[in-house]
């Protein structure tokens, strides 16, 4: 079975769960494995504008860690200052998110790369414009979803709800990565991944360990890239993509 370069929409059970770190590490690992993938952060909020332009943010981390050198206008076509949901941040600035610009940038990236990893903002139900949200964007891009979840108590509920919401929106959920796993996990961290798999039927593809060397401001991925390959997580993502591709071809 030949492997394809994946195109994915990466979302989270909440904001700050580790989507950017996982997206960048997965992109870099896949590129090192010979798969030519690009990265995209279509909409980024909470980015400060200065006289020199926008301050660096998640999009810069993605490109730096992954080793992709596409123009930032393609990688991150929409930036907003308020650290809020895109629709709310845009309204405060007296504007709306330009969905046509987002989709045009995505399609351009698809012509430049065999696959594109698209990182959403916040969770899958976050609004972008009116009642149009992240799930609608993923569906418009025709992408399966990879969910990044926390390891702590409560993650079962958050992850099951995210999976169910995505599926109800007509999206295929490829799997889950648990990010920030403690070096000495408690009972909740140890048992939650199996419970998530049992309740959703969706595989937990990896458990990224907590790493205090990871710093998105300094574009330091710590050991996340090495872990993504050595743990087999990147390979499991590829395997799931190929299972999906084979199912769709029948």
Structure confidence by residue, pLDDT tens digits, 112-171: 999 999 999 999 999 999 999 999 999 999 999 999 999 999 999 999 999 999 999 999
Question: Is residue 217 predicted with pLDDT exceeding 80?
Answer: yes
Residue 2 domain-assigned (yes or no)? no
pLDDT, tens digit, 9 for 90 and up, residues 96-105: 999 999 999 9
Name the pLDDT band for 55 (thresholds 50, 70, 90). Answer: confident
Residue 36 domain-assigned (yes or no)? yes
| Percent of the chain that is helix, strand, coil (3-state, to 5) | 45, 20, 35
Residue 191 domain-assigned (yes or no)? yes
Catalytic residue among 41, 140, 213, 250: 41
pLDDT for position 84 = 94
39, 24 contact by CB (below 8 A): yes
Q: What is the CATH number of the domain that holds 212?
A: 3.40.50.300
Residue 184 domain-assigned (yes or no)? yes
Residue 4 domain-assigned (yes or no)? no
The number of beta carbons lying within 10 Å of the beta carbon of residue 225 is 22
Domain that holds residue 162: 9-249
> Residue 8 forms beta bridges with which residues?
117
pLDDT, tens digit, 9 for 90 and up, residues 140-153: 999 999 999 999 99
Name the pLDDT band for 1 (thresholds 50, 70, 90). Answer: very low
Question: Is residue 241 predicted with pLDDT exceeding 60?
Answer: yes
Residue 153 backbone phi and psi in degrees, to 5: -55, 135
Q: Which has the higher per-residue pLDDT, 230 or 5?
A: 230
* CA contacts within 13 A on the Cβ side of 233: 28
pLDDT for position 246 = 83
| H or E element, residue 29 | helix 19-32
Counts for the chain of helices (H) and strands (E), in that order: 10, 12
Residue 3 domain-assigned (yes or no)? no
Indicate the number of domains in the chain: 1
Is-catalytic flag, 41? yes
pLDDT for position 248 = 79
Residue 190 domain-assigned (yes or no)? yes
pLDDT for position 249 = 73
pLDDT for position 3 = 65
Residue 1 domain-assigned (yes or no)? no
| H or E element, residue 109 | helix 99-112
| H or E element, residue 51 | none
Rounded to two decimals, the pTM is: 0.95
Block residue for tokens 């845009």: 90
pLDDT, tens digit, 9 for 90 and up, residues 186-202: 999 999 999 999 999 99
């Amino acid at each position: 079975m030949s492997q394809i370069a994946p195109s994915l929409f990466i979302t989270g059970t909440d904001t700050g769960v580790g989507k950017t770190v996982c997206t960048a590490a997965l992109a870099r690992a896949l590129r090192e494995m010979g798969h030519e993938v690009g990265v995209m952060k279509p909409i980024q909020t909470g980015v400060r504008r200065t006289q020199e332009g926008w301050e660096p943010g998640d999009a810069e981390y993605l490109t730096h860690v992954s080793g992709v050198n596409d123009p930032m206008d393609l990688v991150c076509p929409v930036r907003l200052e308020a650290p809020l949901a895109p629709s709310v941040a845009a309204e405060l600035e007296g504007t709306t998110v330009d969905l046509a610009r987002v989709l045009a940038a995505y399609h351009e990236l698809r012509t430049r790369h065999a696959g594109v990893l698209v990182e959403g903002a916040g969770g899958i139900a976050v609004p972008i414009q009116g009642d149009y949200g992240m799930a609608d964007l993923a569906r418009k891009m025709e992408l399966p979803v990879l969910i990044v979840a926390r390891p702590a108590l409560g993650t079962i509920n958050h992850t099951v709800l995210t999976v169910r919401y995505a599926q109800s929106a007509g999206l295929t959920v490829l799997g889950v990565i648990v990010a920030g796993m403690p070096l000495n996990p408690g009972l909740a961290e140890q048992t939650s991944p199996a419970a998530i798999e049992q309740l959703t039927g969706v595989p937990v593809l990896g458990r990224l360990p907590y790493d205090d060397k990871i710093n998105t401001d300094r574009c330091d991925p710590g050991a996340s890239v090495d872990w993504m390959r050595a743990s087999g997580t990147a390979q499991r993502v590829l395997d799931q993509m190929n299972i999906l591709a084979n199912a769709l071809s029948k």
